[in-house]
Homo-oligomer: A and B are copies of this chain.
């Protein structure tokens, strides 16, 4: 037999006080005398009472929830980030909602609507393809201050963004290859228009220039962060007359695809071609060969995004300024070596 959950009125009755007093015990116990406080606490214990969130949220005009907008939940890259975000909110009583912008055809208008619905208090956006109008809509409803970008961001917009030091990562990769003796370095990019693509590619180009290395146009191969695009890039590279001796990939998955493709064509990694990735996903230490890559601390990034958002929601002491990029690290493994004949 299931009885309805106890309400604050029930507790008041059991404890012999008014609902007002019960509420005070819940939110500001100092206002209540020790005797009554204990009586109320006891009543709460014995009934297993819990505050009804809908009622509290309605009265307090808030949602007690945040939304995470993920471009494609299916991509393993996001799992570590989600873990970090989840961890960041675990100690608060915020609920964490998740939406896949790929699955949800209306995600664009959805964001502002979620604020308006009173469904969420804030949002962590991992998708750099959000339209400016969708963001304007959020600003219009007064939610502009409660949006934080993570990993990706939108050029020209002024939201806080937690991101890795993408440029430094690209530089580290190129310098590592250069130090090994490589002079012919190619790059498989991310998708066009993506801010990460740009950041990594531009830094890579700049560093290659700085080192006075050759820069034929076809050494910049368009990819999209997917393993398939890496595989496709392999065919392009094999077909080149002037073949690079090393390839910096915009993501580990791309590197794996590339290595698979090159291996199929009879090239050996790293003896014939060196490959560097970006991300350091779980697998990267155990691929064959183990992948040299740029580590992004994804969990840390998620955690920081959570902190920054909490800060903006007024839940956190203002310690988290968070505008400096999260440091990256070069992890040298077995997929890079001096070029052939060096």
Contacts and interface: CB of A to CB of B under 8 A. Distances in A.
A286 B299 contact: no
A297 to B, nearest CB: 12
Interface stretch (A77-85, A174-182, A193-201, A241-249): A77-85
B288 A288 contact: yes
- Taken together, the copies of this chain in the complex come to 2
A220 interface: no
A213 interface: no
Point out which of A57, A113, A259, A281 has the most chain B C-beta atoms below 10 A from its C-beta: A57
B58 A52 contact: yes
A82 B98 contact: yes
B260 A287 contact: yes
Given A52-B117, A287-B287, A287-B288, A73 B82 contact: yes
A99 interface: yes
B283 A259 contact: no
A319 to B, nearest CB: 21
Interface string A55-69: 101100001010000
A282 interface: yes
Nearest to A144: B2
Interface string A247-291: 000000100110110010000000000000000011101111010
A100 B231 CA distance: 33
Query: Which among A48, A116, A283, A286 has the highest number of chain B CB atoms within 10 Å?
Result: A286
A309 B231 CA distance: 39
Interface string A79-119: 11011001100100001111110011000000001001111
Contact of A95 (B80, B116, B119, B287): B119
Contact of A79 (B53, B54, B74, B141): B74
A260 B288 contact: yes
Given A256-B283, A256-B286, A288-B259, A98 B79 contact: no
A51 interface: yes
A227 interface: yes
Contact of A282 (B118, B253, B286): B253
Contacts of A98: 82, 86, 96-98
Given A53-B119, A73-B80, A74-B80, 12 more contacts: A50-B113, A54-B58, A55-B118, A65-B97, A73-B86, A76-B79, A79-B79, A86-B103, A96-B97, A227-B285, A230-B286, A288-B288
